[in-house]
Amino acid sequence: MKFPSIANKLVSLACALMVGACLLAAPKRLATAKPGQCKACHSDKPVLPKDHTDTKGLSLADCQGCHEKGSKTSLVGKLPLMHAHQMKGVTCTQCHGKGKPEAVDKAKCVSCHEQKALTEKTSKLKPQNPHESPHGYQEDCNLCHHQHTKSENFCATCHAFDFSTP
């Protein structure tokens, strides 16, 4: 039959167009952006309400003054982690190295975010501590914590765990 192959081609073309449109609309990643310089990457459209405080020169601690963890305006799980790292002054090259950026492996993550401290920090989460796998192994940090896209609760792919993943 000719119809399914034409339909598949049309679906493939539509998907390619949508991906292309998303890439064009995505903010640029500017490794030299300083903390609080949102417009350096988000120049195409505003990302903050008009009445928001000017972010130039603000640090992550400044932002957390209004966006306190657990509050109605908390940013936990709402922003890619690269924002928090950038606001703390951690540069792209500190995690990715020089040259073409590569994926960051768990060893690099735990060089700053010590595994035992993370496990203790999340020890009271119920029904299961996400940093203490009941499956007998430690997961790769990138399964939940994404740097350039919103993080996700990887456990929820199989379990009904309601974690807010930073």
Dist. CA 140–CA 108, nearest whole Å: 11
State pLDDT tens for residues 58-106. 888 888 888 888 888 888 777 778 888 888 888 888 888 887 777 788 8
Tokens of 135: 């499956």
H/E/C letters for each residue in 20-82? HHHHHHCCCCCCCCCCCCHHHHCCCCCCCCCCCCCCCCCCHHHHHHHCCCCCCCCCCCCCCHH
Chain-wide mean pLDDT for the chain?
77
pLDDT at 27: 61
For residues 142-163, average pLDDT: 84
pLDDT band of 11, cuts 50, 70, 90: low
Has residue 1 got a pLDDT over 60? no
Question: Global pTM?
Answer: 0.65
- pLDDT score of 112 more than 80: yes
Are the beta carbons of 28 and 47 closer than 8 angstroms? no
